[in-house]
């Protein structure tokens, strides 16, 4: 009743000043949204569009590409795909994508199951496993590369317990494993927190019913937790894949620009920086950026189409209504 009165009053007021109000509304919308739009279009969209343009030139980055560079059509792209180093970088990226999923998913689920048990100090554990995620890549890289040196702490510990150390960073047979383990160490906390949140949104009644039917602990996890964790797992995998395709910091810091290709850990992004920025071939670097973008986009869209849209309904691109309530409740829970 109250509400209808209010809207009635409001509509009356509105009809009086409807023209002025409309004009004013438009002004408010512009004032509030234009700054963000300018920033976003100027520093996110525009550079990506320019990358596509620069990619057609052989250009050192001075002046404009048309006057100081040479238009070479798709020559940059031909060079990229015929460069064995780029192809091996792509291969490394895909090894990292698969390796991260295969290594992190089971570990994260097991640890989340563990932390979902009733125990003392769980909040502290949850905080501590998150520390590697918060510490910057540079620090992680610097610290780990010191520990992984052939005369470093890791080999010393191994020696003490009677194991043979290894050349973790520069041996091409081992380096990729080292990188995968470091990635797992750095990002597992994030995965565990996600899985835990997913597990805690599974209704307790399901477990109770199954227990009444005589299901054991592992049976409960296998037939209730795992299937219902599906949406969380799929979102996490999406983020992990995108992150793996863009991987740069850790590799660049630990392996540097040049060792990474001989050690077999170079990625598309380290290749881009080395061939673009470091050697001032801005046309070529932009073309590499476009290739990375297209590869990531294709992978992301394929994943979304075949795996994610089962439960996401395109939350990243359209129809945000379904996912909204979920995220509000998640944020509100914390408040």
Partner 1 sequence: MSSAVSYGRKDKNGYRKSPKNPWGNPVVYFISLLLIAICIGPVVYIILGGFRSNAQITNDPAGMPNPWLNKNYLAVLSSNTFWVELVNSVIVGLLTTIGVVVLSLMVSFVIARYDFKYSKVMYSLFAAGLMFPMTVAITPLYLLLRNLGLANTLAGVILPQIAFGLPQTIIILVPFLKTIPQELEEAAALDGCSRLGFFVRMVIPLSMPGVATTGILQFIGSWNSYMLPLFMLSDPSKYTLPLGVQMFSSQHSVDTASVLAFTSMSMIPALIFFTIFQKRIVGGLTGAVKG
> Among 196, 232, 224, 233, which Cα is nearest to 323's?
232
Does 230 sit near partner 1 (CB under 8 A)?
Answer: no
Q: Is 99 in the site for partner 1 (CB under 8 A)?
A: no
Q: Tokens at residue 318, please?
A: 């359209």
Give the residue, chosen from 16, 17, 47, 279, that forms a contact with partner 1 under the rule CB under 8 A: 47
Supply the minimum distance, in Å, between the C-beta of residue 325 and partner 1.
7
Q: How far is the CB of 189 from partner 1 (least distance, A)?
A: 7
Using the contact rule CB under 8 A, the part of the chain among 75-83, 86-94, 170-178, 315-323 near partner 1 is: 315-323
From 125, 174, 176, 307, residue interacting with partner 1 (rule: CB under 8 A): 125
Q: How far is the CB of 18 from partner 1 (least distance, A)?
A: 14
| H, E, C per residue of 179-237 | HHHHHHHHHHHHHHHHHHHHHHCCCHHHHHHHHHCCCCHHHHHHHHHHHHCHHHHHHHH
Per CB under 8 A, does 330 bind partner 1? yes
Q: Which is nearer to partner 1, 137 or 171 (CB)?
A: 137
Mode of pairing for the β-strands spanning 57-58 and 70-71: antiparallel
Burial of 120 (0-12, 13-18, 19+ CB in 10 A): exposed
Question: Which positions from 59 to 78 touch partner 1 by CB under 8 A, shown as an x/- string?
Answer: --x-----------------
DSSP-assigned beta bridge partners for residue 70: 58
Q: Which of 77, 177, 207, 303 binds partner 1 (CB under 8 A)?
A: 207
Spatial separation of the C-alpha atoms in residues 198 and 192, rounded to whole Å: 10
Q: Return the number of the residue (88 or 116) whose C-beta is nearest partner 1.
A: 116
Q: Which residues pair with 72 in a beta bridge?
A: none
Interface positions, 179-198, toward partner 1 (CB under 8 A): 185, 188-190, 193-194, 197
Question: Any contact of residue 156 with partner 1 (CB under 8 A)?
Answer: yes
Binding string, 251-270, against partner 1, x = CB under 8 A? --x---------------x-
Q: 3-state DSSP helix/strand/coil percent for the chain, to nearest 5? A: 80, 0, 20
292 is a contact residue toward partner 1 (CB under 8 A) = yes
Among candidates 117, 105, 111, 102, which has minimal Cα distance to 230? 105
Q: Which of 246, 303, 309, 313 binds partner 1 (CB under 8 A)?
A: 246
């Amino acid at each position: 009743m109250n509400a209808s009165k209010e809207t009635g009053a409001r509509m009356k007021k509105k009809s009086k000043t409807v023209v002025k109000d409309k004009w004013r509304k438009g002004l408010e919308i512009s004032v509030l949204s234009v700054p963000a739009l300018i920033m976003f279009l100027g520093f996110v969209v525009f550079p990506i569009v320019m990358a596509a343009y620069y990619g057609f030139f052989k250009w050192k980055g001075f002046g404009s590409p048309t006057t100081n560079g040479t238009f070479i059509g798709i020559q940059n792209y031909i060079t990229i795909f015929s460069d064995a180093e780029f192809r091996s970088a792509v291969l490394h990226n895909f090894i990292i994508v698969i390796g991260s999923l295969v290594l992190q998913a089971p570990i994260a689920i097991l640890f989340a199951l563990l932390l979902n048990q009733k125990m003392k100090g769980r909040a502290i554990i949850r905080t501590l496993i998150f520390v590697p995620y918060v510490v910057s890549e540079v620090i992680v890289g610097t610290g780990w590369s010191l520990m992984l040196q052939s005369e470093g702490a890791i080999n010393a510990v191994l020696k003490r317990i009677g194991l043979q150390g290894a050349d973790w960073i520069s041996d091409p047979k081992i380096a990729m494993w080292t990188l995968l383990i470091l990635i797992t160490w750095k990002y597992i906390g994030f995965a565990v927190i996600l899985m835990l949140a997913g597990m805690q949104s599974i209704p307790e009644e399901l477990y109770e019913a199954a227990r009444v039917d005589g299901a054991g602990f592992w049976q409960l996890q296998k037939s209730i937790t795992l299937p219902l964790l599906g949406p969380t797992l799929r979102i996490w995998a999406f983020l992990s894949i995108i992150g793996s395709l863009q991987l740069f910091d850790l590799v660049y810091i630990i392996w540097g620009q040049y060792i990474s290709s001989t050690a077999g850990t170079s990625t598309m992004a380290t290749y881009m920086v080395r061939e673009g920025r470091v050697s001032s071939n801005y046309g070529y670097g932009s073309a590499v950026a476009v290739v990375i973008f297209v590869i990531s986009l294709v992978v992301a869209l394929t994943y979304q189409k075949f795996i994610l849209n089962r439960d996401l309904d395109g939350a990243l691109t359209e129809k945000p209504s379904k996912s909204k309530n979920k995220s509000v409740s998640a944020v509100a829970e914390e408040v």
